[in-house]
Amino acid sequence: MIDRETVLHVALLARLELSDDEVEQMTVELGSVLEHIETIAQLDLEGVAPTTHVVNVENALRADEPEPCLSHERALESAPSVAEGGFAVPSPQA
């Protein structure tokens, strides 16, 4: 019910490279998990509202005022690559 082409399409959406073995395994495993999940398709859910928050809450608003936050340097210190005070990445078009 889920084929190799679908797995590759979803993997691209998820920005996830998969080896050939992983594609094969994923095709089988996702198929069996989806089959289990399909059981909820049999339920009559006509007119049932989807849950948004499990405890009824009003909007969570706060005053829009500046607060101390991470410094520029601290925000960059865990980055794999930094250039000119920003996060460096490979070019989108190599």
Q: Which residues contact 77 (CB under 8 A, 6 or more apart)?
A: none
Query: Shortest Cβ distance from residue 12 to other proteins (Å)?
Result: 8
Interaction between residue 43 and other proteins (CB under 8 A): yes
Integer angstrom CA distances of residue 54 from 37, 41, 43, 44, 60: 22, 22, 21, 21, 15
Q: Is 57 in the site for other proteins (CB under 8 A)?
A: yes
* Tokens 């996830």 belong to residue: 16
Least distance (Å) between residue 80 CB and other proteins: 4
Using CB under 8 A, list all residues that contact other proteins. Answer: 2, 6-7, 10-19, 22, 26, 29-30, 32-34, 36-41, 43, 45, 48-55, 57, 60, 62, 70, 74-75, 77-81, 87, 89-94
